[in-house]
Amino acid sequence: MTMLERARERRVRTGGVDLCVVELGDPGWPTVVLVHGYPDSKEVWSEVASRLADRFHVVLYDVRGHGRSTAPRPLRGGFTLEKLTDDFLAVADAVSPGRPVHLVGHDWGSVQGWEFVTVGRTRGRIASFTSLSGPSLDHFGHWINERLRRPSPRRVGQLIGQGARSWYVYLLHTPALPELAWRGPLGKRWPDLLRRLEKVPHGDYPTPSLPNDAAHGAWLYRDNVRARLRRPRTDAHAHTPVQLITPLEDAYLSERLYDELDQWVTRLTRRTLAAKHWVPRTRPDQLSSWIAEFVSSVEAEGAATDNGETRRVPSRTAGPYAERFGGRLVLVTGAGSGIGRATASSFAEAGARVIAVDRDAESAARTAEMCRLAGAPEAWAETADVSDEQAMEKLAAQVLADHGVVDVLVNNAGIGLSGSFFDTTTADWRAVLDVNLWGVIHGCRLFGRQMAERGQGGHIVNIASAAAFQPTKALPAYGASKAAVLMLSECLRAELAGRDIGVTAICPGLVNTGITSTARFVGVDAEEEKRRRKRSTRVYGMRNYPPEKVADAVLRAVVHNEAVVAVTPEARAAYVLSRYAPGILRRLARVNPPL
């Protein structure tokens, strides 16, 4: 028995059809109504609904003619946006008669949602709207007309691009052909196509009603698309706060469709997601997190207004890349200082939830506090030695139980070691490899496996070094450890590409962090080691390349899914030489570096 089959079910009669409505969670909590798209039924939302039901009153219904709802007779003219609005209001009145609902729509559910939040008769019944992969037909019509009235190469390209993506819309307007295809070969192959092309996992979706759902749903297009695109409404302004979540790899809708959305929505929160179209099935964790955060913020603002205050609840995600990382769970090792602390803070500024891990508990706690001050909705400090396999296994299990699967892992913890090969003892080798290499291996193996098993993508960032491709006689152990991290990252990137998990190796050069003050210099006495530390610290300080720039490179690399990023100018130069003129680097390797 599926989760929705165990939910409370009711029938709502409206406009000559019976709608199948299911409810989860406490009816006293804020109500979230999830509306499905084409060719789906309410089961497309089952994974998201189960994640929201412990905090909200979650309502799902089969749109007329879909799933276990009845179809209008005749079908022609029975799927207009006006009638779909009647259906929504009937459901809202039945499940939440005295309180506005929070609306979430995907695909045609979002197209309907835009109608609901822009017509006057729904005013006061909707508290917020989250839109996924479905534009307003009115906004779309104005978008087209604006590009036809004032064409430019860029705008014409956008029209042609979206026209190509909309190929299926033309087919759905043809008589009888869609019905024959869906009730024939296409309906049988659709589940496999979703799994192969969209990477939708197995589960309770799609349901056996798919062929009829898709055949009936063709009338959504026939009854609405041409009429609205030809004569779009000029008063289609949203009367509720809107959260727009845009999958960046959507094969059917260009993100450029929403370029002028600000003129239609007064209060707009934008999010982007590196995913394909069917995000309710492929990214339920992230969607439920963003929906919960948005609904909670609107509810908090409503409570403030009810108490006589007029303040607006400020957005937590105002920093760079907030559209991408807001609400994401990010874990950073070695977060107590330097690049780790700067990276954790940068993700926090982008609205991510941050777990700061360091072997120094006080430093980790300080970083977590800085993340909260920087804008992270939540930040936690954890103490662990990345070289300790059992400690890392315990950390991974604890993070999974307390917070869920991390979306971004940054393996940053590392130590410095300088000295000739023959002065480097086996104990020295073990020390540097345990942290610099095995720490990365433990993180990738434990948290990367959780990402892979979840099946919703993610990203792993491994902090290597320019020493990974720039040989030097003074850094055999350190350079070997970082070269191994670079190759591990390249191999892991290839292995995880099919699971939508990106892997990036970040290779900084001289960065002004505390690594020089803790680095070990072998083969010299204590006094000489102290002198060399001071000299290295002075050289790095004179270079004065801040760790915040490395943090910026980390976030940028995750957004663009870059494989190898050489950060500082000297690192980029060395990377180019390593590929095209390695002999020059071999000669430079004879010079003692500052570390």
The catalytically annotated residue of 38, 221, 478, 575 is 478
Comparing CA positions, the residue from 86, 131, 90 lying closest to residue 238 is 131
Does residue 221 carry a catalytic annotation?
no
Residues in the chain: 595
The answer for 338, left when phi > 0, alpha when psi is -120 to 50, beta otherwise, is: left
Residue 491 contacts by C-beta under 8 Å, 6 or more apart in sequence?
Answer: none
CA 464 to chain centre: 24
Q: What share of the chain is helix, strand, coil (3-state, %, to 5)?
A: 50, 15, 35
In b/e form, how buried is each residue of 71-92, taking b as 16+ CB within 10 angstroms? bbeebeebbbbebbbbbbbbbb
Instruction: Report the 10 Å Cβ neighbour count for 300.
Output: 11
Amino acid at 136: S
Instruction: Report the 10 Å Cβ neighbour count for 150.
Output: 8
Distance CA 524, CA 117 (A): 73
Q: What is the 3-state secondary structure (H, E, C) of 236-288?
A: CCCCCCEEEEEECCCCCCCHHHHCCHHHCCCCEEEEEECCCCCHHHHCHHHHH
Contact assessment for residue 127 and residue 102, using Cβ atoms and an 8 Å cutoff: yes
Distance CA 32, CA 44 (A): 15
Tokens of 426: 């086996």
Comparing CA positions, the residue from 15, 16, 34 lying closest to residue 24 is 34
Contact assessment for residue 344 and residue 325, using Cβ atoms and an 8 Å cutoff: no
Distance CA 35, CA 111 (A): 10
Active site residues: 478
